[in-house]
Amino acid sequence: MSAQVSTTSLYGRAEKAARLIRSRTQTESSVAIVLGSGLGGFAEELANATSIPYDEIPGFARATVEGHAGRLMIGQIGDSPVAAMQGRFHFYEGYSLEEVTFPIRVLKLLGVRTLILTNASGALNVEFTPGSLMVITDHINLMGVNPLIGPNDKRFGPRFPDLTNSYSPELQDVVLQEARNMGMQMFRGVYASLSGPSYETPAEIHMVRSLGADAVGMSTVPEAIVARHMDMQVVGISCITNLAAGVSDRPVDHDQVIATGERVREQFTELLRRVIPRL
């Protein structure tokens, strides 16, 4: 670390966390994945894995939501090294978006160039069914805040990053090709993120649908913005765990989200096994 870098700055804190992680493993990966609610089981598939609890990494928050184990796993899928965040932090847990996206900053300093963001989401598109998967083509930020607000450190990226291709079209094609090779149905769609933690009202869902969203959730968008700020390539995959309020008469609950994630675990894991070596 340069003598000019303050350990109290965001960049300095990210470097400190990256040093701790490097001290625990010799594996270096250019690909990382953030595993959403009910999807953390993929991390158990990593071979020769090193597990680091979040509370041992300087600057990492604590994952408090069921379905988020709260540890960084670094290992291999086949011959491909990969870092997997087994759970994420959320704005609704009371963390700032700087805290929510801090791990993405650290992954970049570790050499990660490609980021896979996964989440559990509710379907707005009536063609989607619980248990189906959607590759994210774009997003709508309805959280009321942006993770880049505040001083900008040019070592991370520019003051005004372009988000035209927030989600790489090339990486979307890779995911869709592998889904077709598996014979599985996979949708494309726009993901809208709200702050939560309450699920949306039917009126809010009607509004979000009218804006052009196909699925809705409470994560992913801040991480995608920060990743693109640092010129990382991003691909997003949503697991449709339920129909959003107003799309279905059934009440929405988190147990359903976790159960659906577990139900699609095998198919989801196989898709990632095929996709990661191509990234």
The residues assigned a catalytic role are 37, 68, 90, 92-93, 120, 218-219, 242, 254
Q: What is the DSSP letter of 248?
A: B
CA gap 84, 42 in Å, rounded = 8
Residue 36, Cα to own-chain centre: how many angstroms?
A: 6
CB burial readout 33-70, b (16+ within 10 A) else e: bbbbbbbbbbbebbeebebbebeebbbbbebebebbbb
Residue 131, Cα to own-chain centre: how many angstroms?
A: 18
CB of 105 closer than 8 Å to CB of 18: no
CA gap 103, 53 in Å, rounded = 13
Q: Give the pairing of strands 47-53 and 71-77.
A: antiparallel
